Amino acid sequence: MKDNKKPHFLNFSPLLAENYMITNGQKKFRTKQLLDWVYKKRINSFDDCSDLSAEFREKLKNDFTLYTFEIKDKKVSALDGSIRYYFSTAHGDEVITVFMPNPERNTICLSSQVGCPVKCTFCASGSVDFKRNLTRGEILEQLLQVERDTKLSTDSVLFMGMGEPLMNYENVVNAVHSLTSPEQFAYGRRKIVISTAGLVPQIEKLSQENISVKLALSLHGADDETRRKIVPSIIPYKVEDILQAGLNYGRQTKSSVTIEYVLIEGINDDLQQAEKLADLIQEYLYRTDRLKINIIPHNPTGVDRFKRPSDEKIQSFKDCFMRRDLTAIIRESKGTDIGAACGQLTI
């Protein structure tokens, strides 16, 4: 197990790093050098910072831990090459990250919590007891570790792994600041997606942050009764309020919004649900809003008895939206054979 006593360097914002440098007698421009080593050149150790003095490199090593995770296990999908990583943290917790390589765009799915307090009934992550929020540094370290291991760069970052990102609001928002900071990861805002099971106050707060990332609303039902079969009352908000908050977020930040709908046989796959959801969307949608419905056929998890609807049913569900000129996509998950698909992440 790695050292968990020293501060994790990845928890530091560029401003805090600069304060540290100045406090320790380093010139301001040295901060950029240090951040370049960590975030652009992806060093293994502070020993590699060749333009910093040997004495100061020693100090960095004494003051910080650069990496806190170990790769405990990794599985590669024979179907699509997705990789599921199991990391063990410096505290002995387990974190799961999924990397989905693609010739056009490599995508990573980050976890934000150890376990998940929401416990959606279709989701294996919900069966893992919630232990704690991941820190900013632990969220970012998933990306660095995966890129170091695969030697590939990541084009899109999804906060769709284990945990409800908006229940770990501060660390997730700070991680997004690092992801978009030119001094750190330098991602475009539109390359990042935060998903939420529908925490209305946090969605409203997020629209006030200067981050404007894409938002994915995990709705899974068109009315409260149906949604409640899937998303427990720890998320107490009504479907209409979640939808409105999401669309307002899209308007205020000029970001696109996706509705995620895990389709489960006999639970939420009635075509009336599709019609109802289309009615609701059209009631709140402005012509300028960019909105897409992702229909995700249920993936087996081993912790539920839910089933994927037939292909005909899935297509009919999608057609209900298309007939109304709404964009709907049937999203087949990656990594179903290694438990890396949507709803399958568990420790």
Give yes or no for a contact between 42 and 36, defined as CB atoms under 8 angstroms apart.
Answer: no
> 296 forms bridges with which residues in the sheet?
262
Which stretch in 11-19, 119-127, 271-279, 318-326 sits in contact with ligand SF4 by CB under 6 A? 119-127
Q: Could you give the CA distance from residue 311 to residue 298 in angstroms, rounded to a whole number?
A: 12
Tell me the number of residues near ligand SF4 by CB under 6 A. Answer: 11
Q: Could you give the CA distance from residue 310 to residue 326 in angstroms, rounded to a whole number?
A: 22
Which stretch in 73-81, 99-107, 112-120, 208-216 sits in contact with ligand SF4 by CB under 6 A? 112-120
- Kindly tell me which residue out of 43, 96, 118, 200 binds ligand SF4, with binding defined by CB under 6 A: 118
Choose between 36 and 332: whose C-beta lies nearer to ligand SF4. 332
Closest CA to 326 of 301, 273, 290: 290
Which stretch in 60-68, 98-106, 115-123, 179-187 sits in contact with ligand SF4 by CB under 6 A? 115-123
Name the minimum Å distance from CB 48 to ligand SF4.
Answer: 36
Choose between 8 and 298: whose C-beta lies nearer to ligand SF4. 298
Q: Which residues in 174-213 contact ligand SF4 (CB under 6 A)? A: 197
Q: Which residues in 140-179 contact ligand SF4 (CB under 6 A)? A: 162-164
Name the minimum Å distance from CB 196 to ligand SF4.
Answer: 8
Reading the block at residue 251, the tokens are 């308007």
Name the minimum Å distance from CB 13 to ligand SF4.
Answer: 27
Name the minimum Å distance from CB 217 to ligand SF4.
Answer: 12
User: What are the helix (H) ranges across 159-208?
Assistant: 169-180, 200-206
- Kindly tell me which residue out of 8, 30, 119, 191 binds ligand SF4, with binding defined by CB under 6 A: 119
Matching residue, tokens 């990397």: 99
Question: What's the residue count for the chain?
Answer: 347
Active-site pick, 109, 123, 320, 342: 342
- Kindly tell me which residue out of 100, 114, 123, 215 binds ligand SF4, with binding defined by CB under 6 A: 123
Q: What is the dihedral of CA 181, 194, 132, 116, to 10 degrees?
A: -160
Give yes or no for a contact between 121 and 230, defined as CB atoms under 8 angstroms apart.
Answer: yes
Q: Does 215 bind ligand SF4 (CB under 6 A)?
A: no
- 120 assigned to active site: no
Choose between 120 and 143: whose C-beta lies nearer to ligand SF4. 120
Choose between 119 and 191: whose C-beta lies nearer to ligand SF4. 119
Q: Could you give the CA distance from residue 184 to residue 270 in angstroms, rounded to a whole number?
A: 46
Q: Could you give the CA distance from residue 160 to residue 195 in angstroms, rounded to a whole number?
A: 6
Name the minimum Å distance from CB 126 to ligand SF4.
Answer: 3
| Single-letter amino acid code for the residue at 46 | F
* Cβ burial, residue 62 (10 Å; 0-12/13-18/19+): exposed
Q: Does 120 bind ligand SF4 (CB under 6 A)?
A: yes
Say how many C-beta atoms besides its own lie within 10 A of residue 236's C-beta. Answer: 12
Name the minimum Å distance from CB 91 to ligand SF4.
Answer: 20
Work out whether the CA dihedral 321, 263, 237, 229 comes out positive or negative.
Answer: positive
| CA 38 distance to own-chain centroid | 22
Name the minimum Å distance from CB 344 to ligand SF4.
Answer: 10
Choose between 17 and 230: whose C-beta lies nearer to ligand SF4. 230
Work out whether the CA dihedral 181, 40, 21, 170 comes out positive or negative.
Answer: positive
Choose between 184 and 333: whose C-beta lies nearer to ligand SF4. 333
Q: Does 126 bind ligand SF4 (CB under 6 A)?
A: yes
| Single-letter amino acid code for the residue at 89 | T
Q: Does 219 bind ligand SF4 (CB under 6 A)?
A: no
The footprint of ligand SF4 (CB under 6 A) covers: 116, 118-120, 123, 125-126, 162-164, 197
Active-site residue set: 342
